[in-house]
Amino acid sequence: MSNSDDESLRPATKLVQGGRRPEWTGDPRLGGGVVNPPVWRASTILYDNIADLKTRGHATHDKLYYGRRGTPTVWALADALTMMEPGSEGTLLYPSGVAAISAGLLALLSPGDHLLMVDSAYEPTRSFCNGMLARLGVETSYYDPCVGAAIADLIRPETKLIFLESPGSLTFEVQDIPAIVAAARGRGVTTMLDNTWATPLLFPAFRHGVDVAVMSLTKYVGGHSDAMMGSLTASKALWPRLRQATYQLGLSVSPDDCALMLRGLRTLDVRMQRHGENGLAVARWLAAREEVARVLHPALPGDPGHGIWSRDFAGTSGLFGFTLKGGDEAARTRFIDSLSLFGIGFSWGGYESLIVPSNPADIRTATTWSDPDPLIRLSIGLEDPADLIADLEQGFAAI
Ligand X SMILES: Cc1ncc(COP(=O)(O)O)c(C=O)c1O
- Decide: is 232 part of the binding site for ligand X (CB under 6 A): no
Minimum CB separation of residue 385 from ligand X in Å reads 23
**Catalytic (active site) residue 56:** no
**Catalytic (active site) residue 334:** no
Contact 166, 142 (CB under 8 A): no
Please identify which residue in 89, 113, 173, 194 interacts with ligand X, judged by CB under 6 A: 194
**Catalytic (active site) residue 207:** no
CB atoms within 10 A of CB 124: 14
Minimum CB separation of residue 346 from ligand X in Å reads 6
Catalytic residue, candidates 176, 194, 211, 303: 194
- Decide: is 97 part of the binding site for ligand X (CB under 6 A): yes
Half-sphere exposure in the Cβ direction for 382 (13 Å, CA): 14
Choose among 245, 259, 203: nearest CA to 84: 203
**Catalytic (active site) residue 194:** yes
Question: Closer to ligand X at the Cβ: 42 or 78?
Answer: 78
CA separation for the pair 232, 193 (Å, rounded): 10
CA separation for the pair 238, 53 (Å, rounded): 29
- Decide: is 273 part of the binding site for ligand X (CB under 6 A): no
How many angstroms separate the Cα of 264 from the Cα of each of 77, 220, 267? 11, 8, 6
CA separation for the pair 15, 9 (Å, rounded): 10
Q: Which residue is nearest to ligand X (CB)?
A: 97
> Using CA atoms in the order 272, 277, 280, 281, what is the torsion angle rounded to 10 degrees?
-140
Minimum CB separation of residue 10 from ligand X in Å reads 26
End-to-end CA distance of the chain: 58
Catalytic residue, candidates 65, 79, 113, 122: 122
Minimum CB separation of residue 127 from ligand X in Å reads 11
Contact 312, 200 (CB under 8 A): no
CA separation for the pair 124, 218 (Å, rounded): 15
Catalytic residue, candidates 219, 271, 332, 377: 219
Question: Closer to ligand X at the Cβ: 79 or 165?
Answer: 165
Minimum CB separation of residue 229 from ligand X in Å reads 7
Which window, 93-101, 299-307, 310-318, 370-378, contacts ligand X (CB under 6 A)?
93-101
User: In terms of C-beta density within 10 A (0-12 exposed, 13-18 middle, 19 or more buried), how is residue 368 classed?
Assistant: exposed
Which window, 27-35, 49-57, 92-100, 291-299, contacts ligand X (CB under 6 A)?
92-100
Backbone angles phi, psi at 221, to 5 degrees: -65, -50
Angle, CA of 258, 264 and 270, to the nearest 5°: 160
Residues 151-180 that bind ligand X (CB under 6 A): 165, 169
CA separation for the pair 105, 161 (Å, rounded): 8
State the amino acid at position 183 in one-letter form: A
Question: Closer to ligand X at the Cβ: 113 or 194?
Answer: 194
Residues 6-25 that bind ligand X (CB under 6 A): none
Which window, 91-99, 136-144, 279-287, 324-332, contacts ligand X (CB under 6 A)?
91-99
- Decide: is 196 part of the binding site for ligand X (CB under 6 A): yes
- Decide: is 225 part of the binding site for ligand X (CB under 6 A): no
- Decide: is 358 part of the binding site for ligand X (CB under 6 A): no
Please identify which residue in 228, 295, 363, 380 interacts with ligand X, judged by CB under 6 A: 228
- Decide: is 122 part of the binding site for ligand X (CB under 6 A): yes
Contact 313, 204 (CB under 8 A): no
Residues that bind ligand X (CB under 6 A): 96-98, 122, 165, 169, 194, 196, 216, 218, 228, 230, 347
Active site residues: 68, 122, 194, 219
